[in-house]
Every structure is written in structure tokens, then in C-alpha cells.
Structure 1
Amino acid sequence: MEYLEFELPIKELEEQYKKACTIGEDSEVDVSNTCQQLEKKIEDKKKEIYKNLTAWQRVQLSRHPNRPYTLDYIKALCGDTFLELHGDRNYGDDKAMIGGLGKIGNQSYMFIGQQKGHNTKTRQYRNFGMANPEGYRKALRLMKSAEKFGIPVVTLIDTPGAFPGLEAEERGQGEAIARNILEMSQLETPIISVIIGEGASGGALGIGVGDKILMLENTWYSVISPESCSSILWRSWEHKQTAAEALKLTAKDMKKLKIIDQIVKEPLGGAHKDPEKNFKTVANAITKTYNELKKLTSEDLVNERMNKYINMGVYND
């Protein structure tokens, strides 16, 4: 188990608990009361820490190496029903962007999302979840297929941003993302977007124009990462915590600003602490949201989606 810096008090208590249990097993000393007291202390400490997280601490949790990624969600939600589809029919198959058909219960969905890796080899293979233009074009191709057959779209967002490499720009990174935003705004099938980790910049927006935006409790959504913001404003990454607070990037901030529609609660300590419980919560949230959206006609669906984004923000004439 990996602990973040602010979780070290929990680590100390859990180590004390393990030592006490070991003593009880290896000797005839009754340590049951001590173990119960330590269990209560651990639970209280967890509640104290996780219910008072700063914006930067939530950013850290969203990047936790044990946190489930897009494929983990899809496998848990769909089981053996998921059929991955490949390629943009133009340039190639981007491994950072995955998509395909799957079922939650008896309802089919087109799942699309960025995939990071669990170790160095797979992170390189998946380009750290940073898609190239062909990834966004593949996503659009799948969305258009879903529209043709009347299948709702579920996008799972978890990216530090679109790939900023020279070759990506040469192949039209900006155009690909802009095209997706335009086409998604007019897509005549329900779109449910779920932020499961990092939601950074245009990389997230390229698959994030949904009828309903759901955001897990310990995730973030912003035009820029705290580190990059700090680097631009202060010429140093040292102010990333201040930048995280200023960017208003947490789920609570996004809900207050009416950028997202729902905060999905995570198990205490984050999605990685109890993945199965987290998967069930997300599945229920998707199903409930789709049951609301399927009542709308295609015309009403598009009109409401367009109005949703037109009304965002505050401005003066």
C-alpha cells in the first residue's frame, strides 16, 4: 500500500495495529482491547483527514498509482460484454484513447476514455493517457457510430492533457479537439461524461461535451494543471498548492460553478481503497443518468445540451 504525504499519520496507526495483532498471535497476551482502540483511532483519523482535504491533496489522490483507470472501470462495469474497437480510419490506432461497445445490465453503451498505464512499460505504451489527434478522431468515429444505431455514449475522462508533441501538432491536434467539441454538441444520442481522475485542458474537453457531467469526489477539472499554472505565474512549480486553490478545480468548486451536474461519492480515502464499491456507485450513477436522458427526444436533447454550455460563465454586454 502506497501512502501520500498527508496520509502518513494513518500509516503510523496502521503499523501500530499490525504490531499489536502480531503480538497477540505470537503470545498468550490478550491485546483485543488495544486492537479495538487502534481500529477506532484509525477510523477517526481517516475521517479527520479525508473530510478536510485541500485542493492540492485531491489532485494528489486523483493521481494515486493504485487508483483505477478507464479499462478497470470498463471491465468492472461491462464484464465480458465489452468489445474494443480500434483505429480512426485515417492515420492509426491511438493506444492512449480506447473505445468500444459494452453493457451495463441490459443497456448497451459506447464507452470512450483515456487510458493510463499501471507501470513504466504500459505508461509508455499508453503515452501516459495523452492522446494524439488520431485518438480524438477515433473517439469521434465511435460517437458517430453510436448515434447511427441509437446507442448512448459514456466518456471516461482521465488525462493530464492532449499530447503536446510536434508530430501531434503536425497532424492537427487543435483541429481534432475542436471538431470533437463541435460534433459532440450536436450529437443526437445521450452523452454522459464521467471524470474519474485528471480532467486537464483540451485533452479532457475533446471527449467531455456531455449532456450530464459526473465528477468523482477526488478528481479535478481545469484548463491547466496546478504545476503548469505555477510555472507560468511564478516561474516555478513551488507554488502548485496555491495554484490548485486559485484554479477552483475540485468537484465541489465545479458543482458550485455549475460546470458539472453531479459529484459521485468515493469510498473513504479514495476510489482505490475499495474499487468494487466505487465501481458499483459509478454504474448506478450512469444508469440513473441515462434513465433521465432517454426520456428526451433527439431534438430536445441537443437543444438542452447547447443551452447548457451557452449559459456557462458570467459576462457583461
Structure 2
Amino acid sequence: MEYLDFEMPIKELEDQLAKCYEIGKESEVDVTETCSKIEKKLEKARKDIYKNLTPWQRVQLSRHPNRPYTLDYIKALCGDTFMELHGDRTVKDDKAMIGGLGKIGDQSFMFIGQQKGYNTKTRQYRNFGMANPEGYRKALRLMRMAEKFGIPVVTFLDTPGAYPGLEAEERGQGEAIARNIFEMTRLKTPIITIVIGEGASGGALGIGVGDRVYMMENTWYTVISPESCSSILWRSWEYKEVAAEALKLTADDMKKQKLIDAIIKEPLGGAHSDREGAFDAVKKQIVKAYKELKDLDHASLVSQRMEKFENMGVYKE
């Protein structure tokens, strides 16, 4: 188990508790009362820490190395029914963007999302969850397929941003993302979007236009990462915590600004501390959202989606 800096008091108490149990096993001393006291302290410490997280601490939790990624959610939701689909039919198959068909119960869904890696090798293979233009074009191809067969779309957002390399720009990164946003606004099938980790910039928005948009409790969603914002404004990463606060990037902030529909509560300690609990919460939210959307005709669905995004922010013509 890996611990973040602000989680060290929890680690210390867990170590004390483990040592207390070990002493009880190795000797005839009754340690029941002592262990009970430590357990109460541990429970209180967990509640105090996780109920009062700063925006930067939530950013850290969203990047926790043990946090479940897109494929983890899909496999937990669909089991063996998931069939991954590959390629954009133009350039290649982007491993940072995955998609395919799967079932929750008897209902089929088209699942699309960014996928990160778990170690150095898989992170390179997945390009650290940063999709190239062909990844967004693959996502659009799968969305159009879902529309053709009347299958609802579920997108999982978890990326530090679209890949900023020269070759990506040469192949039309900006156009690919813009095209996805445009096409998703008028897609004639329900779209359910969930931020499961990092939701950075156009890289996330390229698959983020949904009829229902949700954020998990310890995730973030904004135009730029706190580190990049800090480096632009202060020429240093030292002010990333200040930037995280100013960007209003947490799920609570996004809900207050009416940019998302709801927050999916995570188990105490984050999604990585109780994966099954996180999977179950996401599954319930998807099923609930689909029930709300499934009976809408195509015209109403598209009209409501467009109105939803047109009402965001302030503008003047």
C-alpha cells in the first residue's frame, strides 16, 4: 500500500495496530483494549483527513498509483461481455484511448475512455493516458457505430491532457478534438460521462460532452493542470497548491458552478482503498442515468444536450 504525504498519520496508526496484534500473537499479553483504542484513533484520523481535503490533495488522490483506471471499471461492470474494438481506420490504433462493447445486466453500452499504465512499460505503451488524434477519431468512430445501432455511450475521463507532440499536431490534434465535441453534441444516442481520475483540458473534453456528466469525489476537471498553471503564472511549479485552489477544479466546485450533474461518492480513503465499492457506485450511477435518458426521442435528447452546454458560462454576442 502506497501512502501520500498527508496520509502519513494514517500509516503510523496502521503500523501501530499491526505491531499491537503481532505482540498479542507472540505473547500471552491481552492487547485487546490497546488495539481497540488504536482502531478508534485510526477511524477518527481517516475521517478527519478525508473529510477535509484541499484541492491539491484531491489532485494527488486522483493520481494515486493504485487508483482503478478505465479498463478496471469496464471489466468490473461488464465481466466477460466486454469486446474491445480497435483502430480509427485511418492511421493506427491508439493504445491511450480504448473502447468497445459491453453489457451491464441485459443492456449493451459502448464504453470509451483514456487508459493509463501501472508501471514504466505499460505507461509507455499507453502513452501515459494521453491520446493522439487517431485516439479521438477512433472514439468518434465507435460513437457513430453506437448511434447506428441505438446503443448508449459511456465515456470515462482520465487523462493529463491530449498528447502535445509535434507529430500529433501534424496529424490534426486540435481538429480531432473539435470534431468530437461538435459531433457529440448532436449524437442521437444517450451519452453518460464520468470523470474517474484526471480531467485535463481538451484531452478530456474530447470525449466529455454528455447528457449526464458526473465526477467521482476525488477527481478534478479543468482547462489546465495545477503544475502547468503554476509554471505559466509564476514560472515555477512551487505554487501548484495555490493554482489548484484558484482553478476551482474539484467535484464540489464543478457542481456549484453547475458544470456537472452530480458527484459519485467514493469509499473513505479514495477509490483505490475499496475498489469494489467504487465500481458499485459507478455502476449504480450509470444504470440510474440510462433509465432517465432511454425513453427520450432523438430530437429531445439532442436538444436537451445542446441546451445544457449552451447554458454554461457567460457570453455576449
TM-score range relative to shorter protein: over 0.9
Matching residue's letter, 1:298: H
Aligned to 2:167: 167
SS at match of 2:161: coil
Aligned to 1:132: 132
Provide the alpha-carbon RMSD of the alignment: 0.6
Question: Offset of 1:315 from its aligned partner?
Answer: 3.7
SS at match of 1:158: strand
Q: Give the distance between the partners of 1:139 and 1:16, measured in 2 at CA.
A: 48
Aligned to 1:302: 302
SS at match of 2:11: helix
Q: Is residue 224 of structure 2 the alignment partner of residue 224 of structure 1?
A: yes
Aligned to 2:192: 192
Q: Structure 1 length as normaliser, TM-score? A: 0.99
Moved beyond 6 Å, runs of 4+: none
Aligned to 1:52: 52
Q: Is residue 313 of structure 2 the alignment partner of residue 313 of structure 1?
A: yes
Matching residue's letter, 1:3: Y
Q: Give the distance between the partners of 2:246 and 2:153, measured in 1 at CA.
A: 32
Q: Structure 2 length as normaliser, TM-score? A: 0.99
Deviation track 1:77-134 (CA, whole Å, cap 9, x = no partner) reads 0000000000000110000000000001111000000000011100000000000000
Aligned to 2:5: 5
Q: Give the distance between the partners of 2:34 and 2:78, measured in 1 at CA.
A: 43
Q: Give the distance between the partners of 2:290 and 2:214, measured in 1 at CA.
A: 12
Matching residue's letter, 2:77: L
Q: Is residue 115 of structure 2 the alignment partner of residue 115 of structure 1?
A: yes
Q: Give the distance between the partners of 1:316 and 1:310, measured in 2 at CA.
A: 12
SS at match of 1:19: helix
Q: Which runs of 5+ in 2 are unaligned?
A: none
Question: Offset of 1:316 from its aligned partner?
Answer: 5.2
Matching residue's letter, 2:139: A
SS at match of 1:155: strand
Q: Is residue 1 of structure 2 the alignment partner of residue 17 of structure 1?
A: no
Question: Offset of 1:295 from its aligned partner?
Answer: 1.9
SS at match of 1:38: helix
Q: Is residue 269 of structure 2 the alignment partner of residue 269 of structure 1?
A: yes
SS at match of 2:141: helix
Matching residue's letter, 1:136: Y
Q: Give the distance between the partners of 1:292 and 1:15, measured in 2 at CA.
A: 46
Q: Give the distance between the partners of 1:49 and 1:90, measured in 2 at CA.
A: 49
Q: Give the distance between the partners of 1:169 and 1:176, measured in 2 at CA.
A: 10
Q: Give the distance between the partners of 1:161 and 1:73, measured in 2 at CA.
A: 20
Q: Give the distance between the partners of 2:78 and 2:315, measured in 1 at CA.
A: 43
Deviation track 1:198-221 (CA, whole Å, cap 9, x = no partner) reads 000000000000000010000000
Question: Offset of 1:314 from its aligned partner?
Answer: 2.3
Q: Give the distance between the partners of 2:316 and 2:211, measured in 1 at CA.
A: 26
Q: Give the distance between the partners of 2:188 and 2:113, measured in 1 at CA.
A: 20
Q: Give the distance between the partners of 1:134 and 1:290, measured in 2 at CA.
A: 28
Deviation track 1:235-273 (CA, whole Å, cap 9, x = no partner) reads 000000000000000000000001100100000010000
Q: Give the distance between the partners of 1:316 and 1:16, measured in 2 at CA.
A: 60
